[in-house]
Every structure is written in C-alpha cells, then in structure tokens.
Chain A
C-alpha cells in the first residue's frame, strides 16, 4: 500500500473544517515553519526533491530560488487552481475536501517567499469551491493563522480566491497572471519569467495546488524524509486522477514505486477494466501527454515493468514512452476508437487556443477538421501525412506550451495507431458503425527474465 501524505486524513468526516483539521495535527507544520527562517524552509523544499505537480515537473525549490527580491517591491505567491486539462481532477478533490491543507501550504510558502498577499486562481467552472476555500480562509484567520502578525511573528498574510472565466489557457502561468490582472488570458513572452516580473510586474511564484499542499508534509516530516519516499527524482507521493474505462475512477495517492499494471488492475486503485474488456491504450498524464498502446504501457521496450513515476513513464522518449504530466490517467478499453478520441482532443485544443499565435490558432482548427473528416468516413490517405505535418509545424513554434499540448496527442495517435487511421479511410462505411478494435496493441512486450 502506498504511503499517504496528502490524503491521509481525507476520509475523516468534517476534515474540511478547521477544528477537525487542527485535531488531526493541522497547522503544526505552519507553527514549525514560522519558527524557521525562509532560507531554512527553502532548503527543506529543495532537499525534498518536490517536482511541480501541475504537469511540467520542474523542481519546486529551484523555482522558488529564482524569485527576485528587490528592496521595497512586494512579492506574490499565486496558486494555480485552474486545472482544466482533460483527465485531471485531483486539485478539485484537494480543494473540496482538504481546503486547510492548501491554506496551510500557502501560509508556509508565502512566509518562505515573503508574500504578504497571495492568491488562488481557480477555474471559473469550479464555482462551488471558492465558497469552501473562503470559509477555510476565514476559519484560519479567526484562529490567528492568517491576517496580521500571524502567531506573533510579525508576518502578515492575506489569501484571496479569484475565479477565472472558463479558459484552459489560463492554466499556463503567464496567461493566468494576465487573467488575474483582468485581461484576456494571452500568454506572455518569456523572459522575463514571473519570478522576476509576474503579477503587476512584481516578482511572483506560480505553483500548482498539489505542489503547495505537499509543502505541509515536507515541513512535517522534513525534506530528507520526503525524498526517501518514491524513487529516483520522483520523490514523495503523487496524486493520480484516474478515469475512462476503469472500475474505480477517482483520485489516488501513490508513492511512485508501483507499476502501471498494478495501478490499473489492483483493487486498491483502478480495479481493472469493466466487463472484462481488454486494455487498448492509456493517456497517463492528462490529455496533452502522448497516448500509448497497452503493449508499450505496461512494459518498457526493454521488457521491464513500467512504473508510475516520471522517469519510467518517459522511458524511451515519445517513440515508446509518454509522460507523468499532471497525473490525469485516462484508460481506453478495446471498444474505444482512437481516431474519435483524438478528434475530441483536437476539438478541445482548437476551442481553447487563445488565438495569439498563428500555428496554434490555425493549426488546431485544421487538425480538428481533418480528424472529423476521417472519423466521419470522408478521409483520404494523404490526410494522415498532412496531420503529421501540421502537428510538426505547431510544436515548438508558439509562445506557450499549448501548441505542444495540442500537437502531441495527434502525433502519438498517428505514431502508434496509424493502422487504425488507415482502416477508417479504407473502410468509410464500416468506421461509422464499428470500431477498429485491438489489433496488436494489446500484445505486451515480453517480460525480461531476471536471474535471481
């Protein structure tokens, strides 16, 4: 069983309220941190090896250390709660059921970064969650953990919740800052990075909800102990939101030492695939990371088990691997059509492109139209190469990573499922009424025999 750090108390009734959270040891990490110096806290976060849980996986401590500290200029912590990546709903769970964990993490992080006013930017559609967060903020304030002169330390901190207006692009940190400034969510050119010029041109750290929540156990158990959990550079625990064709969709906390096979089939996690169907493919890190067929998902090309961690999922690069991303784990069974699935993702990215860069604005729409044509039995064989060409022209050619996010699902689908695209084009009548099925996707790479 995986060690639980973030969700250890999630099952306790009333844990979203201060009194219950406090009884479980809540805010003890904050009390401890406020007796440390900001540099000592930063060192603990660095030692922990915590990687940003929003998708990019950049080391959190290193990101914090980039924060500019000019004299007399306020700094800000902004929590990215925009979470709009298809397949990802873990931050919603944290905010809905453990709001004080986030508030406590923000207090510690704000103290470390010298932010007296911090913001939670939450996607607008999560419209009932701001009430939960604001209630938790008021409770924390009443208990002396927010506001002026917190616990007599002289440190002041206010936290405010800001609702977005429904735009996936606002999950990109600079677009988020633009939105928080009351503008369209158009990403900014970098540099300057937010750590130098962020919110209102002030030094700003933008971190995901899960990353900031993880600061609490890091302070509680120390960064060194946190780093011992997991494996390699995948330290600590990771929240995985599992969905699609599985028996037990939901949010799971794993310590990144379990195999993908165990995660999908064991009763502790996803509980296998409904109705005894076979696994066809999986997108393990949110819609933008490459889809992989079952044969490459469960084992690496070397025949070794694939593990639920950053390094193992990425093993082999995009040719045979994928990414941990945000941990949005989408499982597809043998009845799913990869062309249709890719088409819905292309539609999503076309809808969510902010329109600022031509390759993304035009390319996403073009890809969606071609995929829709193929799915509707009107595709031509050359469309597959055209799709490949378009995604290549989008990737790496835009201001923000949305271009890459839109290109990768299409590239991976063609790379691994080209036969299925061709079948759609060759069988226009059939593809309207039935799916391609499994083909060889489900034949796993033979396991490597290990000598004892």
Chain B
C-alpha cells in the first residue's frame, strides 16, 4: 500500500494562511510558496505524488504543478543529499575564485556537478548568481549563505555538516 502524503497540521495551516493572501479563486498564486513547503517537508525534492497532492490542495490540475516545478531551479526533481551545496559560479564569483572552490568540493567529495555522495550526505549544484557578488566566492546551504569562502573554510563547513552542526533552516 502506498504511503499517504499529507502535510503536518501546522504546515497545512500555513498553506491556508498563504492562500488567504490572494483574492478568492486565485489560489493558484500560492503554488510556489506551497511547493517550497512541500519540498522542505517531503524529503528535499518533489516526487510526482507530492506534486499531485499539491495540485489537489490548490484545486488545480497536476500538469499546472509539474510545469511550474520543472521551470524553477530551486525545486529538485530527483532525490538530493541532506546537504545541497549550491556554489555560485557566475561573473563576480568566477572573478573571485569560485571554480577553485567547485573543484575542491568535486575532488574532496568525489562527485560531479549534480551528483550526490554515496552516503547521501552531500549534493553539489553549481548555481548561476545568488546575489552575493560582493562577498564572493560563496555557497548556499539550506536557508543560509556562506560567503567569502576559502578552501579551508569549505573544509570546515563540510566537517561541521558531517557533525550535524550546520543550520539549514
């Protein structure tokens, strides 16, 4: 029997609060915020049953959810590691050494871009501009930016992740 997908009561209350921000009949506007909530609550990615559940909640067609979820880069369409390392590599970050940071992570974790480590701990995602140009190079981990990176700082972050001491939310 398949697992029943449902938001926790507090998340469901949050969904209804979000829907109330828009005029009646415009609940589709809640799609992006609700997808963020769903991704957070259902394992860091959006499985088809999860997207179908979101469609049902918002009284829209599943295809309307799929086309949006696949358009925006923040939504993961396949399972990811516990820690998703999003390293910015555009323009100013490149000027300040983002490729060196990316190479270091690739080598250290033995993964390519978009891959997840075998232990399911880390996924590496190069990102195109995250708005931290003055504090480059940088990476995003969960909700937070880690800026002015050096190789040593990256090593420290990875170690702290392994110890479960890096806040994601």
| Chain A interface residues (CB < 8 Å from chain B) | 74, 83-89, 92, 117, 119, 123-128, 160, 162-168, 179-185, 200, 241-245, 249-251, 283, 287, 328, 330, 332, 336, 340-341, 344-345, 347-348, 351-352, 354
Contact = CB atoms under 8 A, between A and B. Distances in A.
Given A87-B133, A200-B26, A348-B128, A165 B91 contact: no
B72 A164 contact: yes
B50 to A, nearest CB: 15
A351 B95 CA distance: 19
Nearest to A248: B134
A352 B128 contact: yes
B28 interface: yes
A245 B90 contact: no
Contacts of A124: 32, 36, 72, 74
Contacts of A182: 28-32, 58, 60, 64, 68
Interface residues of B, number: 42
B107 interface: no
Interface in B23-52: 23, 26, 28-33, 35-36
A181 B26 contact: yes
B133 A88 contact: yes
Given A165-B72, A244-B95, A330-B95, A84 B129 contact: yes
B103 to A, nearest CB: 15
A165 B90 contact: no
Interface stretch (B6-14, B109-117, B136-144, B152-160): B136-144
A160 B31 CA distance: 15
Nearest to B75: A165
Contacts of B58: 182
Contacts of B33: 162-163
B150 to A, nearest CB: 15
Contacts of B68: 165, 182-184
Nearest to B35: A165
B101 to A, nearest CB: 14
Interface in B60-74: 60, 64, 67-68, 71-74
